C-alpha cells in the first residue's frame, strides 16, 4: 500500500517518469505501470482444496485440545483404527493438515521476560564448533559461561565434552570472573545428571555433586527441551561461532586457541548490552563486586578411578594402559583423570603422570619405568615395547650396540652392554618421555 500511494502521487499526480520512480523504489517498471493503472481493492478470498480429513475435523480438534503434543502420525493411526480403516492419505498431507488445525486451536507458548540482579545467576553449556588445529580440521567442544546480569561471558575449547572438561571449564570460568554467582543453570547432560526425576528434581552424578560442593556453587537444571531457560548462554554460543569461528580459524594447538578465546572474551567488555543500552564492562564492574569469593582450596578438575597395577607395570584406564615404576606391581592405585593428563597415585605418593590418550587400547609408556626390570632381564631389551615406542631411546640403543637385535650369546652380550652403562651414568642420554 505504501508503494502504491508513492507511485500514484509521483506518477499520476506529479507526472514523473515511470523508469525514474521504478529505480528509486527498486521495483520493476512494469509493476509501476500496473500500480498506475489499477486501484487496490479487497483481495479475493483464498479457497483451500478439500481434504480427505475434512470429515474427521471434529475428531482431530478433540485430540489436539485434549493432548496438544500429539503427533500427526498418532492422529492418523487413531482415525484409521477407530473411524475409517480404509482411509489412505500421504504422510505429508496428514502433517500439513494437523499442523494447520494445531495453529488454530493450540496457542503458542508465552514467556516472561526475566530481570536479574548482580551476581544472581549464571548459565553454562557446551557446543561443538570446527577449527583447524595443526593443519587438520577438528571438531572442538566450546564450554561457555555467561553472567545473566552483566552479559559478560567466558569460553574455552576442549577435545571432549566429558566430566574433566566440564570441571576444567567451570574452574577456569569462576577464576576468570573472580568469584561465584548465587546459582548456575545447566541442562540435563549425562556429565552432571544421572536421571531426570519428576519436576525439577534430578539424580546428580556423585562426582559432579562433590565438585560443585567443594566449589560452593549451587547448580539448577533447566526443564527438558526448554532451551529458553538458559537462552542467554545459547545466544552467546551463536555470537562466539559467528564472530570467532567464521571463517574457520587455524591454530598450532588447542592452547593457542584458548589464549585467543580468552582475549576475545575480554573484548566483550567494550560492547553495549543489547537490552539495557549500557556497556557490559560497566555492568560487570557492579556484578563483580557482588560475586561471592572463591574457596581457599579449589577442587581438582578431575575424575577419580581405581585400578590395580598389573604384571606389565600398567594400570588400565578407559581401555588405555599407562606405565608405573616396577616396584608398584600388584598394588592398588588411585588414578586422577584430568582433561589432558592422567596422574597415578599409590598410597599418598604420586608415582607417575602421563598425557591422556584420546584413543582406545593404546599404550602410554615411560621408558624409565622399565630400566630396573630390564637390568635383570637383559634379553627383554631386544623387543621391549617401552623402547620400541620411544624413537630416541631406540636410536641410543642402536648407537651403543648395533647388533643388539641378533640372536644367541652375541645378542645377549650386547643387551647387557646396553643396560650396564646405567650404573656409570651412560643412560643420562636417555631423554625424558614424550608427556614431559
Per residue in 121-134, pLDDT (tens digit) is 999 999 999 999 99
Mean pLDDT calculated for residue range 45-71:
84
User: Bigger pLDDT: 410 or 379?
Assistant: 379
Is residue 333 within 8 A of residue 304, CB to CB? The reply is no
pLDDT attached to residue 88: 87
Q: Which ranges of 178-332 does DSSP label H, i.e. alpha helix?
A: 206-215, 231-244, 254-267, 280-290
The DSSP secondary-structure symbol of 245 reads S
d(CA 433, CA 436): 6
Enumerate residues 6+ apart whose C-beta is below 8 A from 93. 51, 52, 53
d(CA 235, CA 224): 18
- Cis peptide bond N-terminal to 370, omega within 30: no
Asked whether the predicted pLDDT for residue 422 surpasses 80, the reply is no
Mean pLDDT calculated for residue range 112-120:
85
pLDDT attached to residue 436: 36
> Strands 349-355 and 363-364, how do they pair?
unpaired
CA atoms within 13 A on the CB side of 90: 4
User: Bigger pLDDT: 188 or 328?
Assistant: 328
pLDDT attached to residue 227: 64
* Strands across the sheet containing 320-323: 314-317, 320-323, 363-364
Local confidence band at 159 (pLDDT 50, 70, 90 cut-offs): very high
Mean pLDDT calculated for residue range 142-166:
93
d(CA 379, CA 365): 19
pLDDT attached to residue 423: 43
Per residue in 17-31, pLDDT (tens digit) is 888 888 888 888 888
List the domain boundaries for the chain. 2-37, 54-105, 121-290, 303-364, 368-429
d(CA 16, CA 117): 58
Asked whether the predicted pLDDT for residue 417 surpasses 80, the reply is no
Mean pLDDT calculated for residue range 70-81:
91
β partners of residue 402? none
Local confidence band at 419 (pLDDT 50, 70, 90 cut-offs): low
What would you report as the CA-atom Rg of the chain, rounded to the nearest whole angstrom? 34
The whole model's pTM is what? 0.70
Look-up of cell digits 606391581: 329
Local confidence band at 4 (pLDDT 50, 70, 90 cut-offs): confident
d(CA 371, CA 363): 17
Is residue 67 within 8 A of residue 105, CB to CB? The reply is no
Asked whether the predicted pLDDT for residue 169 surpasses 90, the reply is yes
Considering the four listed CATH numbers 3.30.420.10, 3.40.50.2030, 1.20.1640.10, 3.30.70.270, the one that applies to the domain covering 121-290 is: 3.30.420.10
Tell me which H or E stretch contains 104: helix 91-105
Percentage, residues of the chain above pLDDT 90: 41
Amino acid at each position: 500500500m505504501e508503494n502504491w500511494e508513492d507511485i500514484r502521487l509521483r506518477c499520476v499526480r506529479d507526472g514523473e517518469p515511470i523508469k525514474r520512480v521504478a529505480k528509486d523504489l527498486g521495483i520493476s517498471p512494469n509493476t509501476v505501470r500496473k500500480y498506475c493503472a489499477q486501484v487496490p481493492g479487497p483481495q479475493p478470498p483464498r479457497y483451500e482444496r478439500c481434504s480427505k480429513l475434512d470429515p474427521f475435523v471434529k475428531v482431530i480438534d478433540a485430540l489436539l485440545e485434549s493432548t496438544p503434543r500429539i503427533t500427526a502420525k498418532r492422529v492418523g493411526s487413531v482415525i484409521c483404527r477407530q473411524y475409517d480403516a480404509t482411509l489412505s492419505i500421504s504422510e505429508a498431507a496428514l502433517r500439513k493438515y494437523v499442523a494447520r488445525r494445531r495453529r488454530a486451536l493450540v496457542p503458542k507458548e508465552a514467556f516472561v521476560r526475566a530481570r536479574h540482579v548482580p551476581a544472581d545467576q549464571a548459565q553454562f553449556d557446551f557446543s561443538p564448533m570446527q577449527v583447524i588445529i595443526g593443519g587438520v580440521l577438528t571438531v572442538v567442544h566450546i564450554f561457555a559461561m555467561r553472567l545473566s546480569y552483566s552479559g559478560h561471558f567466558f569460553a574455552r575449547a576442549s577435545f571432549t565434552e566429558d566430566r574433566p572438561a566440564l570441571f576444567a571449564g567451570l574452574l577456569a570460568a569462576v577464576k576468570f570472573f573472580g568469584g561465584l554467582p548465587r546459582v548456575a543453570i545447566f541442562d540435563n547432560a549425562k556429565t552432571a545428571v544421572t536421571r531426570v526425576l519428576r519436576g525439577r528434581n534430578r539424580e546428580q552424578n556423585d562426582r559432579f555433586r562433590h565438585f560443585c560442593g567443594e566449589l560452593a556453587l549451587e547448580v539448577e537444571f533447566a526443564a527438558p527441551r526448554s532451551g529458553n531457560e538458559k537462552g542467554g548462554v545459547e545466544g552467546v554460543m551463536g555470537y562466539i561461532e559467528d564472530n570467532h569461528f567464521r571463517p574457520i580459524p587455524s591454530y598450532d594447538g588447542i592452547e593457542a586457541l584458548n589464549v585467543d578465546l580468552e582475549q576475545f572474551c575480554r573484548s566483550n567488555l567494550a560492547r553495549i548490552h543489547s537490552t539495557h543500552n549500557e556497556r557490559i564492562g560497566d555492568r560487570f564492574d557492579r556484578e563483580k563486586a557482588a560475586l561471592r569469593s572463591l574457596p581457599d582450596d579449589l577442587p581438582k578438575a578431575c575424575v577419580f578411578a581405581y585400578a590395580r597395577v598389573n604384571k606389565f607395570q600398567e594400570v588400565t584406564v578407559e581401555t588405555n594402559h599407562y606405565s608405573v615404576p616396577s616396584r608398584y606391581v600388584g598394588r592398588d592405585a588411585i588414578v586422577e583423570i584430568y582433561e589432558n593428563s592422567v596422574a597415578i597415585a599409590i598410597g599418598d605418593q604420586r608415582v607417575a603422570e602421563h598425557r591422556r590418550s584420546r584413543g582406545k587400547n593404546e599404550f602410554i609408556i615411560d621408558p624409565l619405568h622399565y630400566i630396573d626390570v630390564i637390568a635383570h632381564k637383559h634379553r627383554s631389551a631386544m623387543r621391549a615395547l617401552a623402547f620400541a615406542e620411544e624413537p630416541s631411546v631406540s636410536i641410543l640403543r642402536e648407537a651403543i650396540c648395533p647388533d643388539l637385535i641378533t640372536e644367541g650369546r652375541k645378542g645377549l652380550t650386547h643387551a647387557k652392554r646396553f643396560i650396564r652403562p646405567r650404573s656409570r651414568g651412560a643412560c643420562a642420554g636417555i631423554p625424558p618421555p614424550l608427556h614431559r
